[in-house]
Amino acid sequence: MLNSYWMSAPFIFQMLCMAADEFWFHRKRGLPRWERIGHPLDTLTVVLCLAWILCVQPSRRSALVFFFLAAFSSIFVTKDEPVHRRYCFAAEQWLHALLFILHPVVLASAALLWPGIWQGGTPMRDSSNRLFSIVRFSGFERPFLIFACALMIGFGVYQFVFWNLLWDSKINSR
C-alpha cells in the first residue's frame, strides 16, 4: 500500500519546474500576447480539476467528469507549442516537455487522493473503489489539495496581473 504523502511528490516537482519556467525563462525572453492570455487559462484548467475533487464526492459519474476535465486540461496546455517553437530555446523546450509529462501525473495523483479528502483518512468501504485501495489515506489529503488549489489560484492571478497589467513589453521585449 502506498502512503498518501507520496502523492504530493508530483505536485512539488511540477511546482519547481513551473517556478523555473516562469521566473527564469519567461522573465528572460518575455511573453508574446498569446502566452500572456493562454498561461492563466492553462492554470484555470488545473484549478477546475482540483475544485471538482474538493467539491464533489467520488462516484462513478463524478470520476468520469473528472477524467474528462483532466484530459481536456492535459490537451489544452499543449496549445502553445507553435508559439514555443518560435520563441523558446532548447532548455526551455526540454522543461516544457517535463511539464507536459507531469501535468497528467499531477492530476492522477489528485484523483488518487480524492477519496481520502471525503473519508477523513479512513479507507472507502465501497468495493467499486478498488483502485483507491492502493493508497493508505492519512488525513492530510484535504488540507493538501486545498493548499494546492489555493496556490494555483494565486499563481493564475499572478500570471494574469503580472503579464497583462504590470509587465511592459516595450521595455522588456527582445
**Helical residues (DSSP H) of 77-136, grouped into ranges:** 81-87, 90-119
Domain ranges for the chain:
2-25+36-166
The three three-digit cell numbers of residue 87, written as one number: 520563441
- Kindly report the length of the chain: 174
The three three-digit cell numbers of residue 133, written as one number: 485501495
Statement: the pTM of the whole predicted model exceeds 0.85? yes
| Amino acid 138: pLDDT | 83
| Amino acid 122: pLDDT | 52
Closest CA to 7 of 153, 162, 163, 148: 148
Closest CA to 77 of 121, 43, 111: 43
Burial class (CB in 10 A: 0-12, 13-18, 19+), 141: buried
Q: Rounded distance, CA 140 to CA 170, Å?
A: 46
| Amino acid 131: pLDDT | 53
| Amino acid 174: pLDDT | 43
| Amino acid 127: pLDDT | 45
Q: Rounded distance, CA 104 to CA 96, Å?
A: 13
| Amino acid 129: pLDDT | 52
Which residues contact residue 18 at a Cβ distance below 8 angstroms, ignoring those fewer than 6 apart? Answer: 99, 155
Residue 9: CA atoms inside 13 Å, Cβ hemisphere, count? 6
Beta bridge partner(s), residue 135:
2
Reading the chain (174 residues) residue by residue, the pLDDT tens digits are 778 889 999 999 999 999 999 999 999 999 999 999 999 999 999 999 999 999 999 999 999 999 999 999 999 999 988 888 888 999 999 999 999 999 999 999 999 999 888 876 554 555 455 555 678 888 889 999 999 999 999 999 999 999 999 988 655 544
Spatial contact of 155 and 43, defined as CB atoms under 8 Å apart: yes
